[in-house]
């Protein structure tokens, strides 16, 4: 009989958010695969869990994935945990789950904390429909293209971001998506938990970078074309700003079309004229 792969959620800050079922599963497993074994040992020690640990993270998942699958085929039960929250949600694990299922191995989720859902529940933005898009790219050009693709996403948009990039990402949200309402959720479940509400530019000026130890959750209100066009920059201003950033005419037209809803062909022609005047 093959073993079972358990996907176990762990706290995102407050250790009291650990579930009884998660503690029991980790104690009864034959092996725990952890994103960072040094970090996870602190959690396991707190709950008196002595199950053997092995690392499983982005750069070793191909090798370690095979070793974990071998253990499962031999009948050993394996619990997968990440540094915080639910594994596989912008964390390693998808490949392992997919390969385990392909091998006929049972995969059992042990639900618990998830930063995206925790932030969404308390942000005060619509929750009937939302798009979770994980981490934006690090570089500005790719990040803006990433945000442009989310301009027509349904409902609230939920992102993760590293503390030192929050201000830059907020500025890009304002430039690409207009001055929608945004919520910055940081230090979730910790002593200094905070929800900041405002426009992207207001929040970019307000955030204090580097104070947080973990990722920040950014939540962007659903699109409202009327509000965006009346409060945000004009299409011409957006085109000029994008060209000044070094975007090509094609990229500029795509970015502004996504942010305003205006025809891409019309914007391309305007951007082409603007570039010729530069």
- Give the model's confidence band at 226: pLDDT under 50 very low, under 70 low, under 90 confident, else very high: very low
- Domain 4-113 shares a fold with domain 116-226: no
- Class of 116-226 in CATH: alpha beta
Measured distance CA(201)–CA(51) in Å, rounded: 47
pLDDT at 213: 62
**Residue spans per domain, the chain:** 4-113, 116-226, 233-277
Encoding tokens for residue 250?
A: 């094609």
The neighbour count for residue 198, using CB atoms within 10 Å, is 16
β-pairing verdict for 156-161 and 130-134: parallel
Q: Which residue has the tokens 């305003």?
A: 260
pLDDT of amino acid 212? 54
pLDDT digits (tens, 9 = 90+) for 139-180: 999 999 999 999 888 899 999 999 999 999 999 999 999 888
Q: How confident is the model at residue 227 (pLDDT cuts 50, 70, 90)?
A: very low
pLDDT given at position 231: 52
Q: Are 247 and 172 in contact (CB under 8 A)?
A: no
Query: 28-64: per-residue pLDDT in tens?
Result: 999 999 999 999 999 999 999 999 999 999 889 889 9
Give pTM, 2 decimals. 0.79
- At 224, the pLDDT band (50, 70, 90 cuts) reads low
CATH code: domain 4-113 is: 3.40.1010.10
Q: Is 174 exposed, middle or buried (0-12, 13-18, 19+ CB in 10 A)?
A: buried
Q: Is 48 left (phi over 0), alpha (psi -120 to 50) or beta?
A: left
Q: Calculate what percentage of the chain has a pLDDT beyond 70.
A: 92
Tell me the C-alpha distance between 167 and 204, whole Å.
Answer: 5
Residue in 252, 170, 190, 203 with CA at minimum distance from that of residue 16: 190
Q: For residue 62, what pLDDT is reported?
A: 86
Q: Is the dihedral of CA 96, 215, 217, 115 positive or negative?
A: positive
Instruction: Compute the average pLDDT of residues 122-132.
Output: 94
Residue 228 near residue 177, CB atoms below 8 Å:
yes
Separation of CA 141 from chain center: 18
């Amino acid at each position: 009989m093959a073993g079972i792969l358990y996907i176990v959620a762990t706290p995102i800050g407050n250790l009291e958010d650990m579930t009884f079922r998660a503690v029991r599963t980790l104690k009864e497993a034959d092996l725990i695969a952890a994103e960072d074994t040094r970090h996870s040992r602190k959690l396991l020690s707190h709950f008196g869990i002595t199950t053997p640990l092995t690392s499983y993270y982005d750069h070793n998942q191909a090798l370690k994935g095979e070793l974990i699958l071998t253990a499962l085929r031999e009948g050993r039960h394996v619990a997968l945990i990440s540094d915080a929250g639910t594994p596989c949600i912008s964390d390693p694990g998808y490949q392992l789950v997919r390969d385990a299922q392909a091998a006929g191995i049972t995969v059992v989720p042990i639900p618990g904390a998830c930063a995206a859902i925790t932030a969404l529940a308390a942000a005060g933005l619509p929750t009937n429909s939302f798009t979770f898009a994980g981490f934006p790219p690090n570089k500005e050009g790719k990040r803006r293209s990433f945000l442009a693709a989310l301009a027509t996403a349904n409902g609230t948009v939920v992102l993760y971001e590293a503390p030192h990039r929050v201000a830059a990402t907020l500025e890009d949200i304002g430039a690409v998506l207009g001055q929608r309402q945004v919520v910055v959720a940081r230090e979730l479940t910790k002593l200094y938990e905070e929800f900041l509400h405002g426009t992207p530019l207001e929040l970019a000026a307000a955030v204090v970078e580097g104070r947080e130890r973990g990722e920040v959750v950014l939540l962007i209100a659903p699109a409202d074309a009327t509000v965006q066009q009346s409060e945000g920059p004009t299409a011409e201003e957006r085109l000029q700003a994008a060209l000044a950033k070094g975007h090509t005419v094609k990229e500029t037209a795509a970015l502004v079309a996504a942010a305003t809803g205006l025809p891409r062909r019309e914007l391309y022609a305007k951007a082409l004229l603007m570039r010729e005047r530069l």
